Every structure is written in structure tokens, then in C-alpha cells.
Amino acid sequence: MNKKAILYRMVTDNHICPFGLRSKDLLEREGYDIDDRPLTSREETDAFKTKYNVKTTPQTFINDERIGGYDDLRTYFGKGEAGQTGTTYTPVIAIFSVAALLALAFQYTVVGAYFSIRTLMLFIAFSMSLLAVQKLKDLFSFTNSFITYDLLRRVDLS
């Protein structure tokens, strides 16, 4: 039996809905044939929302039943909450500590002294690099913010 789903998602020249891409990926991983129906303008999206009395896109329909958005689709398939839960500052404290130690060690190795204006500059450089790597740790949030800038992915949407 072929499992089929209809997916309405917003895809315009200026915006690609990351949750629409996530919904499409989830449906594919669950073995569904997807009738992808992109909403290509603000007017088309607003008309769709009015017709189905929904506030957001994407919207998924399976067996003529509206499942809902990405979170509703995850619930339908028995998946847990998407993304990272909770807040902790431990990684940030660790990052700044490691950056400080790296700056001090590098400064001492090169100059033979621990403190100078260069130590501060090294600390900032190491901190920014490590914070960038930390940002990649929460891939769910990172991809949501990055996906609309991914020009190569836009070409592959057909």
C-alpha cells in the first residue's frame, strides 16, 4: 500500500519555510509519497490559511485528514519534541575558559609573557571561533536560521 501525503508549504523567491522542508523530509523518511504543493506568494499563502482556517504553514494532509504543521506531524508519527530543550550556560562558561587558557598559552609560547593587549585579542579570536562551533551543536536551530540563506538548496526545490 502506497502511503500518500499532501504538503502545502511556503516557497517564494525571498523565503523558503524551514519547517516545510523539515515536514517534507519527515514524510519521506516515514515512506510517504508526497504531493508537494508550494505556496508561491503571500496572497496564495493567505488564501490557503483562510480556506483551511489555519495560522501557519506548512500544513500536511494524510488520507484527506489535516494533520497540521511540523510539530503536529511529529506527534502524528510518535516523535518527541524537536530540537534542544532547556537552557544551560555551562558550555558558554567552558568556551570562555578554554579561550582564555588558549590565549594565555599561545601568548606565553610566542612572546614569553602571559599578559599584553595581544592576549586580549587572542582571547576574543579564540572565543568567537569556539562560539561559532558551539552554534553548530544545536543543529535544529542552526539549520532553521541557515536554510533560508542556502542558495544551493533553493535550486534543488523542483
Provide the pLDDT for residue 158. 45
Q: What is the pLDDT of residue 54?
A: 92
Rounded to an integer, what distance in angstroms lies between the CA atom of residue 19 and that of residue 57? 8
Contact 84, 138 (CB under 8 A): yes
pLDDT tens-place values along the chain, 158 residues long: 578 999 999 887 777 888 888 999 999 999 999 999 999 888 999 999 999 999 989 999 998 899 999 999 999 999 877 765 667 777 788 889 999 999 999 999 998 888 889 999 999 999 998 888 877 776 666 666 655 555 555 554 44
Q: Is the pTM of this model over 0.85?
A: no
Identity of the residue numbered 145: S
How high is the pLDDT of residue 60? 95
Concatenating the DSSP letter of every residue in 60-85 gives EEETTEEEESHHHHHHHTT----S--
Distance of CA 99 to the CA centre of its chain: 27
- Taking phi first (over 0 means left), then psi (-120 to 50 degrees means alpha), and beta for anything else, what does residue 26 get? alpha
Q: What is the pLDDT of residue 77?
A: 92
Q: Hey, which bits of 12-135 come out as E strands?
A: 32-39, 59-62, 65-68
